Amino acid sequence: MEQRETVGEGGAGHPENPTGHRTDERGHRADERGHRADDTGHRVGVGPWRGPWPTDPRYDPELLRNGDRRNVVDRYRYWTVEAIRADLDLRRSPFHVAIENWTHDLNIGSVVRTANAFNAAAVHVVGRRRWNRRGAMVTDRYLHVVHHQDAAALASWADAEGLPLIGVDNLPGALPLETYSLPRECVLLFGQEGPGLSDAARHACRVVLSIAQFGSTRSINAGAAAAIAMHAWVRLHAAPTEA
């Protein structure tokens, strides 16, 4: 959600904003230089807190003092990372996301960021422990990220938790994602860019799903495929009012 500033209707003389200063949804003044921005290079967030500081321990004194330029929704402005993560934990979606990591795939960061957007229960990195965090835009701070040595280790964990592994890859014999009813509690498993799901991962899956394509390209990248699959889960199991 974009930062909302009270202008026009909430301008000078408005009972909730008698001074006419631009304010955010909490009613405190927004920094004149605090226009929202994103990872395209525009500034994001809000400036230093104006007025008496809140006493709620979820607020970060450093952010109150210096402003909050993080790419977080308005309800989490000025909150500590720990407070945000704890609040998200209260309403995690019951699906997990797993992705294989054998060659330091750049797509993993994008998958992590999307998993944060849909508040996945956790992200599981399979293979190399170190992964390329650049595309995650630090959203991994608000998630539970778990490492598994290989597909067998992931499968063992999922079996113990009673969670089916649902592979997503355009392979011969794969069922169409568009007509498959994803379980509410499951692990969506993705391969890395190029080779896709490894043989071990594919054999560990209860089912492998494909994403319909209509153009000339042979495949879409793992980050895009993960976003499509996660949103398919959302359409089945998450109400828009929960967002």
pLDDT value for 113: 97
The pLDDT of 54-71, averaged and rounded, is 97
Distance (Å, rounded) from C-alpha 189 to C-alpha 124?
Answer: 9
Looking at the fold, whether 16 and 108 belong to one and the same domain comes out as no
- In tens, the pLDDT along 105-149 reads 788 999 999 999 999 999 999 999 999 888 899 999 999 999 999
> Which has the minimum average pLDDT: 8-17, 41-50, 216-225?
8-17
Residues of the chain with pLDDT > 90: what percent?
71
Could you tell me the pLDDT band of residue 102, with boundaries at 50, 70 and 90? Answer: confident
Residue 224 has pLDDT above 90, yes or no: yes
| Whole-number CA gyration radius for the chain | 21
Q: Has residue 104 got a pLDDT over 80?
A: no
Residue 96 maps to which CATH number? Answer: 3.40.1280.10
> Which of 48, 83, 118 is where one domain is finished?
83
- The answer to which of 96-100, 105-109, 157-161, 183-187 has the lowest mean pLDDT is 105-109
- Do 74 and 116 share a structural domain? no
Q: Quick check: 1 pLDDT over 60?
A: no
pLDDT (tens digit per residue) in 85-99: 999 999 999 999 999
Three-state secondary structure of 56-107: CCCECHHHHHHCECCCCCHHHCCECHHHHHHHHHCCCCCEEEEEEECCCCCH
221 burial via Cβ count (<10 Å: 0-12, 13-18, 19+): middle
Are 114 and 59 found together in one domain? no
132 plus 215 within the same structural domain = yes
Number of domains in the chain: 2
